[in-house]
Amino acid sequence: MDVVFTRTGERRYGVTVTGPQSMPRGMDPAPGYDDHIPHDLVHYIVEAELRLSGGLYGRAAQGGGSFLPRGELPGRRQRRRLHRKAARREAHLRRRDHAGPADMHRSERLTALCDAVWRMRHAPALEGGRPPWVTPPEIPEEDRPAVERIVARLEEIAPLWNSLKVGESLIFTWPDPRPVR
């Protein structure tokens, strides 16, 4: 599955996932835009680095997830049918995958933690710097190796994202945390 993060406007981005046997699905605009690194891109890096099959992108690779069909659809009836089909697929994945809720929770927790750690390390270089009242997040001992690996990857990816112009994209092939382009 390819995952494409596209800067779609001055303060907008979209995410598109495409599998070999499925129509493109995505979100545009996607939530959590940031000039330095958007929320869903941090999610992707966390899940790819840790190979979380029950996270947002692991689910999408299995045909589930919250991504909606992209492109021209024949009409309201077809859209409803596709939404019902996606809901059935997601319910099936939830029943079959016991790791799903744990992976999703771990993804959310580590995405917030790694984003905060990355921003603390780069605050002087970011616009406005770090406010004096912001304290570094506490990293649980068991998460330290994963957080360090993910933050190192974010340090590679953030400049690539930041340099994109409107209409340009970063493309990943799930579950590789390195961009193809």
Residue pair 136/122 in contact (Cβ under 8 Å)? The answer is no
Q: What is the pLDDT of residues 154-175, one digit of tens each?
A: 999 999 999 999 999 999 999 9
103 CB burial (10 A radius; 0-12, 13-18, 19+): buried
Q: Which residues contact 173 (CB under 8 A, 6 or more apart)?
A: 1, 2, 3, 180
Q: Is the bond preceding residue 132 a cis peptide, omega within 30 degrees?
A: no
Per residue in 72-130, pLDDT (tens digit) is 444 667 667 766 766 676 666 555 555 556 888 899 999 999 998 998 887 665 665 55
DSSP secondary structure string for all residues of 112-139: HHHHHHHHHHHTTTSTT---TT--PPPP
Find the mean pLDDT for residues 4-21. Answer: 90
- Amino acid at position 20, single letter: P
Predicted TM-score (pTM) of the model is 0.80
